[in-house]
Structure 1
């Protein structure tokens, strides 16, 4: 009986070992075939690692290692500013942590323009490009496009005021386009693009060059400013625009009528018998 039990045990161990060996060979062959298939696919479409969001990311969130993951991305279709190295994107040093500037959804590639530089906060200074300045413009319901302005939008700035002090003979007010395609970087104290619904703002902050700051400051103190929202894909160049009351009513330019000056004629009267004759002479004043 013991001999039979021992024989069955030996046979079972042998069968189990054979099954393990066969499974190992099968897994090894499968992995080799998978590696060959990946190599063949990469030979057709070269790919590289690109880091994407593991879930929705919102303005002001800090980037952590569990916030991102790497995926294979076609080498000839990598978005500009994408991160291919984890160390360049996420740091273990809290002083070098990046912060989200623009909302991102799950599996969206993380781009340099959507996050701050290492150790930089999500304030307005991080959104200003080199040579640009932040300038606040006062708005209300009518001048602020009924509250539909969002950080990241582009607007045209119109000035309305009187130019009688600057132009001799000018009467009434004029409206003129003074800046075109200016980018908004904040609405009131909100710099995030994640805004739901209309918000009646009191101020908007724009990103402009120093000379534009001077022009907007002068315009804001000498008249009224109104904003016009520009479409997302609108890349047209706007010509200078100016409208006064006569142009608005279609009256055309006012033409001054000048009476033609008649030549001065000097005469003397002389009597010849019973007749009085007028004779022209040079005028001597």
Structure 2
């Protein structure tokens, strides 16, 4: 047989084998993709559910999840009924264990408080509440402004108002309004924000609420650094920062010391009388 013909046949056989393997793999992938993936029905929220709500049967439904469900997903509605919601849920969202309070802890704001932490209500400025930026889950810094106790009794204490940052990176549990009475006993609506703090921080806020004015400052939730912030006083706002401080001019030459004028003496002899007179003149000699 012709050697050239054998070479051509072998090359064709190799190409055909490679094409067969490629087609086999493509067809296998298509068949595998066409197979139905396993699915699981998990418990989900039937409607939007606010934080602190105690779940009941009408609040729950089930949804089909393709593939492997999350490890903390709830498969039986009985495991969710009667538990408080620690984070707001939306309609159709699967309910996870870490979004619910422990069994038997009930609902409301108390169910959202972490171990070792406390929730404290802080009355804030009306503008803060109207702006609507203080929402559950956000992070804020707490500023206080007032007159230090050591200067209250001194003259001009009203001009010594100071502001300081007392707490940083505090989580907001809830925000809303409350009805309180003013000095005349009339009801008025005030903005109240519940903050998640440690017991020590709760003492600071309790004292600040009675003695100073509190202002909340919104911060980026990803920014968890505690900055070193110095307090400032009302008088510092009116200082002229642009004017350089004047310094006394210092002459490079030492001050000349004035020399006393040279003196010369004139002696006058009149008989037995002798008198002396002194005169000052430039270059004079005695």
Q: TM-score, normalised by structure 2?
A: 0.55
* Cα distance change, pair 89–70 in 1 and its aligned pair in 2 (3 A): farther
Give the SS at the match of 1:165: helix
Within a 5 Å distance, the mapping from 1:189-208 to structure 2 comes to 201-208=190-197
Give 1:138 shift: 1.5
- For the pair 1:209 / 2:194, whether they are aligned, the reply is no
Which range is displaced more, 171-180 or 64-73?
Answer: 64-73
- Structure-2 residue corresponding to 1:111: 96
**Unaligned stretches of 5+ in structure 1?**
1-32, 43-47, 92-96, 191-199, 256-285
- For the pair 1:131 / 2:116, whether they are aligned, the reply is yes
- Structure-2 residue corresponding to 1:140: 125
Larger radius of gyration: 2
Match of 2:49 among 58, 81, 91: 58
| Contact kept in structure 1, 2:74 and 2:97, CA below 8 Å | no
Count of residue pairs brought into register by the alignment: 196
| Contact kept in structure 2, 1:61 and 1:99, CA below 8 Å | yes
* Cα distance change, pair 52–228 in 1 and its aligned pair in 2 (3 A): same
Give 1:182 shift: 1.4
Q: 1:224-283 CA deviation, whole Å, 9 max, x = no partner?
A: 11112234x44242413222234434556xx9xxxxxxxxxxxxxxxxxxxxxxxxxxxx
Give 1:220 shift: 1.9
- Structure-2 residue corresponding to 1:69: 62
Give the SS at the match of 2:210: helix
- Structure-2 residue corresponding to 1:176: 164
- Structure-1 residue corresponding to 2:211: 222
Give 1:56 shift: 2.0
Give 1:143 shift: 5.1
Give 1:84 shift: 4.7
Match of 1:83 among 73, 78, 86: 73
Which range is displaced more, 179-188 or 145-154?
Answer: 145-154
| Contact kept in structure 2, 1:53 and 1:107, CA below 8 Å | yes
Give the SS at the match of 1:126: helix
* Cα distance change, pair 180–105 in 1 and its aligned pair in 2 (3 A): same
**Unaligned stretches of 5+ in structure 2?**
1-30, 179-188, 246-286
- Structure-2 residue corresponding to 1:262: none
| Contact kept in structure 2, 1:145 and 1:229, CA below 8 Å | no
Give the SS at the match of 1:142: helix
Q: 1:67-110 CA deviation, whole Å, 9 max, x = no partner?
A: 232533554x83xx73254277346xxxxx22444432333221
CA distance in 2, matches of 1:213, 1:53: 36
| Contact kept in structure 2, 1:50 and 1:83, CA below 8 Å | no
